[in-house]
Amino acid sequence: MEIADRFPLLKFGTVLSAASVLLACWYQYQSQSQHQYQTSSVRDTELDERLELVLSSLLRAEGKVGMEGAARPRVAVGFGGCVDIVVDGIMLLEKMGVHPSKQPFHHDFIETSEQLAQSFAYFFPPGAASERYVKNDTLFSQLVEASRLLPGSRWSVGGNAPVMAGRMAIEGCDVLLGVSATPDFTGVLSQHITVAGNTVEKPDIHLILEYHSGAEWGQYTSKRANRYIIHSDNHNPYLASMYDFEQKLQDFQPDLLVIGGLQMMDNFPFKQGERKALLRHLSRLLSSTNPITGVHFEMASFVDEGLLAELLEVVMAHADSLGMNEQELPNLLSLLRGGIVTVLSDPTPRVATVLDQMRELYRLVNKRRTGIPGTRPLTRLHVHTLAFQAIAVARGSVWKNTMSAAAKASLTASRHVCGSAQIDPNKAKLIMDESFSISQQEGSQRIPLLENRPVSCWEEDDYEICVAPVLVCTEVYQTAGGGDNISAAGLVLQI
């Protein structure tokens, strides 16, 4: 049960503070763009040169670690997969006769078209990504049917695990992928990916309702481009591929094991005890993993506190490495601090804010795990945001090349969102400031962003932190799947 239903005031508070954060960002953005506008004519050439220099320096940093000649790293990735149908969200809602609701509301799952209208009205104006389970087969089938016929709709292989697996195969790894797949699905995967899992007749389908910045839906206008995802998975929540994956894992002997896609369990109507049994099984699988195999867990958008708390205890506790975005970091941290998940956070946080949150997460997670048998200390934390990449790695741990990994993660973000392997500085901007403070604490050190050495790395306590600016794509091709491509690209250079 959603905690806000039990404490209505708390929820109001959360929404209120999220709204004021968003408002603050909006003003900051407004004044920044005005500032840019006034000075742009004078600085155009200077700015272009600066972006080109940052780009060439990032490329140099990425290229410092060559994979040529080395044996292909072996990576196992689970779980789940789906077919994504990407549509224009507003067009789909209009076609379905789902009218803008006057009562925006954040529902944990969707049962009626009225709830869909309320939920969409909640996330669309701020432009916050979200993902919801539809607990009504009739409604979901109607939405899928309508999407098929919608002009401009496109299909692709989706799901966190297949996207990460795909990226790693492209980057030179041999991959074992845990997924319940149809023969068609398996057919389109890279030859370097081996599928482990049961065969299914009908794939799970995810509907990706995309909208651009400034899109209008009745009285609502979106502040930034993003997506609202709905699904009604039958296979993914049961982690059905886990058993075959587990068996093949013995022989595969991966250098790295990556777990993601567990948000498909969020708010799924399991029978009593079913979810717990599945997670117990996964927990045993992880705790019996060879200690020389690194374990990475990729966070996602979770709203079910019970699930997230359980994951923290039985799944994440076995991971040496965690990956997440700027929404998922405060969400997990908030749970670690005292137990409430956050639904909306600042979509463009400052470096200092994120680094402070990372330090706290690192400390709290390691404190919880100390002395508990079967758990591993957290030695790597990667946070991907729109403006920058930040990776913290424990000194003396197995993770290598943190500087190059941060550069590669940053370049992958630009490549993915612009939809092109070549990055065009004319389609990019830097939104990170010319220098950043490493903490919000007064008197903290400031680090300048140097164009010829854009990735900054330094040591603190028992870990090293690297921060790389992102050349933010201004002509968006695709945002969905971004986090998975970025996280996977960063990991490849660190194993």
Ligand X SMILES: *[C@@H]1O[C@H](CO)[C@@H](O)[C@H](O)[C@H]1NC(C)=O
132 sits near ligand X (criterion: CB under 6 A): no
Helices and strands per DSSP (H, E), number in the chain: 14, 22
139 sits near ligand X (criterion: CB under 6 A): yes
The least CB distance from residue 166 to ligand X, in Å, is: 2
Alpha-carbon distance of 3 to 306, in angstroms, equals: 10
Q: Is the Cβ–Cβ distance between 106 and 122 less than 8 Å?
A: yes
113 sits near ligand X (criterion: CB under 6 A): yes
Supply φ then ψ for residue 397, to 5 degrees: -85, 180
Label residues 271-297 b or e (16+ Cβ within 10 Å = b): eeeebeebbeebbebbeebeeebbbbb
Ranges within 149-168 binding ligand X (CB under 6 A): 163, 166-167
138 sits near ligand X (criterion: CB under 6 A): yes
Peptide bond into 120 cis (omega under 30): no
CB-nearer residue toward ligand X: 315 or 423: 423
Closest CA to 348 of 306, 385, 397: 385
The least CB distance from residue 117 to ligand X, in Å, is: 12
Cβ neighbours, 10 Å, residue 253:
12
The least CB distance from residue 15 to ligand X, in Å, is: 25
Q: Is the Cβ–Cβ distance between 311 and 279 less than 8 Å?
A: yes
CB-nearer residue toward ligand X: 117 or 335: 117
**Secondary structure (3-state) at 230:** strand
**Residue span binding ligand X (CB under 6 A) among the ranges 31-39, 56-64, 133-141, 207-215:** 133-141
The least CB distance from residue 420 to ligand X, in Å, is: 7
141 sits near ligand X (criterion: CB under 6 A): no
CB-nearer residue toward ligand X: 139 or 365: 139
- Site map (CB under 6 A) of ligand X, residues 249-288, x = contact: ----------------------------------------
The least CB distance from residue 31 to ligand X, in Å, is: 32
CB-nearer residue toward ligand X: 411 or 455: 411
CB-nearer residue toward ligand X: 165 or 282: 165
The least CB distance from residue 489 to ligand X, in Å, is: 9
The least CB distance from residue 448 to ligand X, in Å, is: 30
The least CB distance from residue 167 to ligand X, in Å, is: 4
112 sits near ligand X (criterion: CB under 6 A): yes
**Residue span binding ligand X (CB under 6 A) among the ranges 5-13, 132-140, 379-387, 397-405:** 132-140
Closest CA to 56 of 482, 419, 388, 471: 471
Task: Say how many residues touch ligand X, by CB under 6 A.
Answer: 14
Q: How many angstroms separate the Cα of 111 from the Cα of each of 81, 108, 138, 274?
A: 23, 10, 10, 22
Give me the helices (H) in 370-465, please.
Answer: 402-418
- Site map (CB under 6 A) of ligand X, residues 383-412, x = contact: ------------------------------
CB-nearer residue toward ligand X: 138 or 452: 138
Q: Enumerate the β-bridge partners of residue 206.
A: 84, 231
178 sits near ligand X (criterion: CB under 6 A): no
The least CB distance from residue 156 to ligand X, in Å, is: 8
Alpha-carbon distance of 214 to 221, in angstroms, equals: 6
Alpha-carbon distance of 159 to 484, in angstroms, equals: 9
481 sits near ligand X (criterion: CB under 6 A): yes
DSSP structure class, residue 299: -
The least CB distance from residue 138 to ligand X, in Å, is: 4
Alpha-carbon distance of 189 to 217, in angstroms, equals: 37
422 sits near ligand X (criterion: CB under 6 A): no
Judged by CB under 6 A, the residue of 404, 410, 485, 494 near ligand X is 485
Report which secondary-structure segment, H or E, holds 384: strand 380-384
Please give the single-letter amino acid code of residue 253. Answer: Q
199 sits near ligand X (criterion: CB under 6 A): no
Ranges within 434-453 binding ligand X (CB under 6 A): none
**Secondary structure (3-state) at 38:** helix
Alpha-carbon distance of 228 to 128, in angstroms, equals: 8
Report which secondary-structure segment, H or E, holds 114: helix 113-123
Instruction: Check the CA dihedral 18-23-26-28 and report its sign.
Output: negative
The least CB distance from residue 365 to ligand X, in Å, is: 28
The least CB distance from residue 415 to ligand X, in Å, is: 5
CB-nearer residue toward ligand X: 394 or 480: 480
Closest CA to 118 of 101, 135, 131: 101
Q: Enumerate the β-bridge partners of residue 322.
A: 297, 381
416 sits near ligand X (criterion: CB under 6 A): yes
Ranges within 227-246 binding ligand X (CB under 6 A): none
CB-nearer residue toward ligand X: 45 or 422: 422
Distance of CA 55 to the CA centre of its chain: 23
Supply φ then ψ for residue 372, to 5 degrees: -90, 120
Which residue is closest to ligand X by CB?
A: 166
**Residue span binding ligand X (CB under 6 A) among the ranges 108-116, 124-132, 258-266, 347-355:** 108-116
Interacting residues toward ligand X by CB under 6 A:
111-113, 136, 138-139, 163, 166-167, 415-416, 419, 481, 485
